[in-house]
């Protein structure tokens, strides 16, 4: 079902090109990948994500509160999935 009252310029986000040959969706994907890379590499949530994903019991024994971080990780993933679709 088409969405009414949108300008044709809105379609550029899905089908447009930057500089004539770089697809706009590719730019969005690269920006999202950079954000995820930054979160995983430079934040406490990223370090804890790797620790919990590798061995939740070892993460718990090292002082990480596994349950709240697991909920946060799943919540962020669900929001990411909902945003993409």
Q: What is the rounded distance in angstroms from the CA atom of residue 3 to the CA atom of residue 12?
A: 15
The model carries a pTM of 0.70
pLDDT at 85: 61
Q: Which one, of 41, 42, 30, 69, lies nearest residue 53 by Cα?
A: 69
Q: What is the pLDDT of residue 1?
A: 58
Could you give the CA distance from residue 8 to residue 20 in angstroms, rounded to a whole number?
A: 18
pLDDT digits (tens, 9 = 90+) for 60-76: 999 999 999 999 999 98
pLDDT digits 0-9 by tens, 11-53:
777 777 888 888 888 888 899 899 989 999 999 999 999 999 9
The tokens describing 8, both together, are: 């044709």
């Amino acid at each position: 079902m088409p969405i009414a009252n949108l300008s044709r310029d809105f379609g550029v986000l899905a089908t447009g090109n930057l500089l004539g040959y770089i697809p706009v969706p590719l730019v969005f994907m690269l920006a999202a990948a950079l954000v995820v890379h930054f979160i995983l590499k430079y934040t406490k949530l990223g370090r804890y994500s790797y620790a919990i994903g590798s061995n939740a019991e070892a993460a718990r024994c090292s002082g990480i509160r596994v349950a709240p971080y697991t909920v946060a990780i799943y919540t962020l993933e669900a929001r990411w999935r909902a945003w993409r679709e």
